[in-house]
Amino acid sequence: MKAVCWQGANKVEVETVPDPKIINPGDAVIRITSTAICGSDLHLYDGFIPTMEQGDILGHEFMGEVVEVGSEVKRIKVGDRVVNPFPIACGHCFFCKQTLTSLCDNTNPNAFMAEALMGYSPSGIFGYSHMLGGYAGGQAEYARVPHADVGLYKIPNGLTDEQVLFLSDIFPTGYMAAENCDIKPGHVVAIWGCGPVAQFAIRSAFLLGAERVIAIDRVPERLQMAKDGGAEVLNFEQVDVGEALKEMTGGRGPDAVMDAVGMESHGLGLEGFYDKAKQAVGSAQDVMIEK
């Protein structure tokens, strides 16, 4: 099959690689029909995430049709259309039982590497370095999905790929940011950044009862999209954001704020992160960092 493969910092290539196979009885193989590029893929592309290896298949936001299932898969059937969430969860560990599936204790065999860098390890994640499990990603024609019965979400009939693809990551990511704001009726919420996650966060904030959402960016198309979603907008190149927010809220400021700006866009501080990452996992044999 064809797949998007990481070749080193700032270089990805479409390569021909072996098709994925069922390895464990809980696996499914899906034929990818749609996949997305995440803002987080930029961190891989730009070389900020250690433990990538040449040839690793990228992509953690994907959906498709199930073409094969392992002998223990019960809920998911061949032919199902499914969306795949980016964390891999076993469904029966301490964290999974509390629905904290992104903390699954069983799916990252390289947790010690992630712990060296971040203190704690999340679950395994598709297409996102060896310190997060070394799983092949979904920017490919096919992908193997472990614990298929746990993660895969069956798509109700009649919905198009475009209507459901973003359930794989950015819609729940934006929704959770809004949820964390503990929005009450009448609240004013400000959002830094108007990229894709922020667009979902804006709409989620309204869904959760915000009265006003103020969205901040400098890219006209993004600001327009925020407006179309009902937000008031500020261009940070044209106004003093702090002053403007106070002025728009009777001097009090917003009730809650969200930062939806990607790591690279912050500009400063990346060198520090890079050095820390390199030190933290430098001892692992298969670490490969190119800058």
Return residues touching Zn ion (CB under 5 A). Answer: 38, 40, 90, 93, 96, 104, 106, 169
- Residue whose CB is less far from Zn ion, 12 or 93: 93
**Which CB, 63 or 256, lies closer to Zn ion?**
63
Backbone dihedral angles phi then psi of residue 223, each to the nearest 5 degrees:
-65, -40
Residue located via tokens 């400021």? 253
What is the smallest separation between the CB atom of 86 and Zn ion, expressed in angstroms? 6
**Would you say 193 or 254 has its CB closer to Zn ion?**
193
Strand partners, 216: 192, 234
- Sign (positive or negative) of CA dihedral 118, 149, 200, 245: negative
Beta bridge partners of 154: 82
| DSSP run (H or E) holding 191 | strand 188-192
Do residues 191 and 214 make contact, with C-beta atoms less than 8 angstroms apart?
Answer: yes
- Shorter beta-carbon distance to Zn ion: residue 126 or 142: 126
- Outline where the chain has alpha helix (H): 39-45, 94-97, 111-118, 148-151, 161-164, 170-180, 196-207, 220-228, 241-248, 263-266, 270-281
Sequence-distant (6+) residues with CB within 8 A of 183 are: 189, 205, 208, 209, 210, 255, 256
Residue number with CB closer to Zn ion (96 or 190):
96
Least distance to Zn ion, CB of residue 60, Å? 5
CB of 222 to Zn ion, least distance (A): 18
Q: How far is the CB of 137 from Zn ion (least distance, A)?
A: 10
CB of 105 vs Zn ion, minimal distance in Å: 5
Map tokens 């895969």 to a residue: 152
Task: Select from 84, 35, 24, 80 the least CA-distant residue to 57.
Answer: 35
Return the DSSP state at 106: S
Nearer to Zn ion, 38 or 111 (CB): 38
CB of 7 vs Zn ion, minimal distance in Å: 20
The residue (of 163 and 279) whose beta carbon lies closer to Zn ion is 163
Least distance in Å: CB of 243 to Zn ion? 34
Report the residue closest to Zn ion, judged by CB: 38
